[in-house]
Amino acid sequence: MRSSHGVPASRPVAAFNFAALFTLVTVAFRNLLKAKRRTLLLGFAIAVVAMLFLVLRSVSASVSARMIEAATTLSSGHVNVGGFYKVRKRGADALVNERAKLAALLKEKVPEAVGIIDRGRGWGRIVSPASSLNAGVSGIVWENEGRFFNSVQFERGSAENLKKPNTALLFAAQAKKLEVDIGDTVTLVIEGNGGQSNTVDLEVGAIASDIGFMSNYSLFVPRQTVLDLYRFNDNTTGVFQVYLKHASESQGVMERLRGTLAASGYTLMEHDPQPFFIKFDKVMGEDWLGQQLDLSVWSDEIAFVLWITTALDAVSFLVVGVLAFIIIGGITNAMWMSVRERTKEIGTMRAIGAQKGFIVRMFLAEAFLLGLFAAAVGAALATLLLLSLNALHIPIRNDGVRLFLMTNTFKVGVDAGQILATLALFSVITCVATIYPALKASRMKPVEALMHGK
């Protein structure tokens, strides 16, 4: 259709659609207000499930974020270039030769990296007069560890103390178990190549706040200490840790590096998404000598604890799935009762010209508004609950719960994306539950509907 000037009459159509939508929403809103008791009961049920869903998803997201933070602070970059060196078939050392050459190559081939550091790797037992514990040993170069020092919070001592030879950074839980403080001495015992034990006395130079349970198994010492213990030369290192702007880029950068390093003449191990220390047994059982590089991403290095987020996600969807199924049944039943109660009303609307599509859209609009508002209330309650609990700084004393939540105090972040996803999900659920009653209502014959109850 065109105007008298030959211009398509598009604006009146758009205005009509907007007016129809406004009318539809107004009618749906009034119908919800008319059935206050039913609306409140269904809304309360949806709000509770939405609140539970958002709490569980927020906990899972927070644990995942802490995993990335802990991994990339303590033991991993976003991408890691490590490896193993074998001088005999039944032995293996976690080291990389030609340290300077490989560092230059990585800097050239990963220009988007925001940082590249290398650390010595080892495993040993920390012994004090009171107790002992096992820990992964990281040998650091003080001048290169600005990111690390900015990420940890020092409770006692300082990063400056780690400039001295044979010093150690412990975390609070470790210091408590070992019963040591700044200036005390602990002994580090490692098993070197060939099976002999090497030891060194370390002065506790700094004690940092725990970073989840993973910090219980992390020890930081000067790089030279690791070299001396394992009898390595200065042109070797344990791993190059490559840090990127976004953790999501890790997999792509690793795959690119695999091709680059292979083309540069390096021998690479097949990618195995496991922490490096789990690979020792496999490497020692293989019949090769010399060096092979091992590339991994941050999630590989903490694969042994990723079950936590998998379990949380499974629990979230199982619980919400069961409750959502119950809600769908309740909404379907409630809407079916609404159809029966409003049979004459529907007949009147059909008699004065309302199309079947309008009847369907009216019921779906009611369901959408109900789901949206109820989910918004649930999301608001969940946000208020989590923020209140965060403000209380509740200590977590149970070791199992600390392991599960990867934190020593209760702290769960609330993400806007999770809130929007909750609103969308429960709006869709209520609409799906209403489809069948809405279709049945639209198929009523006007005459039969008007005669209903006579």
- Helices vs strands, H then E, count in the chain: 15, 10
**What per-residue confidence (pLDDT) applies to 178?**
95
- Tokens standing for residue 440: 């049945």
AA letter at 127: V
Single pTM value for the model: 0.69
Contact by Cβ (8 Å): 382, 50: yes
DSSP notation for 317-378: HHHHHHHHHHHHHHHHHHHHHHHHHTHHHHHHHHHTT--HHHHHHHHHHHHHHHHHHHHHHH
Counting residues of the chain whose pLDDT is more than 90, the rounded percentage is 42
Q: Is the pLDDT of residue 16 over 50?
A: no
Q: pLDDT class for 120, splitting at 50, 70, 90?
A: very high
DSSP conformational letter for 224 = H
Which residue would you say has higher pLDDT here, 19 or 244? 244
Burial 246-280 (b: 16+ CB within 10 A, else e): ebeebeebbeebbeebeeeebebbeebeebbeebe
Q: pLDDT class for 7, splitting at 50, 70, 90?
A: very low
> Span 38-59, mean pLDDT?
88
3-state secondary structure of 197: strand
When mean pLDDT is compared across 106-120, 223-237, 299-313, 367-381, the lowest value belongs to 299-313
Distance CA(335)–CA(36), nearest Å, equals 13
- Tokens standing for residue 357: 């599509």
Query: How much is the mean pLDDT over the chain?
Result: 84
Q: pLDDT class for 193, splitting at 50, 70, 90?
A: low
Q: Is the pLDDT of residue 61 over 70?
A: yes
Distance CA(119)–CA(73), nearest Å, equals 12
Question: CA-CA distances (angstroms) from residue 246 to 69, 112, 262, 298, 442?
Answer: 12, 10, 25, 12, 51
Taking only the tens place, the pLDDT of each residue in 199-233 is 999 999 999 988 877 788 899 999 999 999 988 99
Rg of the chain (C-alpha set): 31
- Tokens standing for residue 82: 């490590």
Q: pLDDT class for 57, splitting at 50, 70, 90?
A: confident
Q: Is the pLDDT of residue 250 over 60?
A: yes
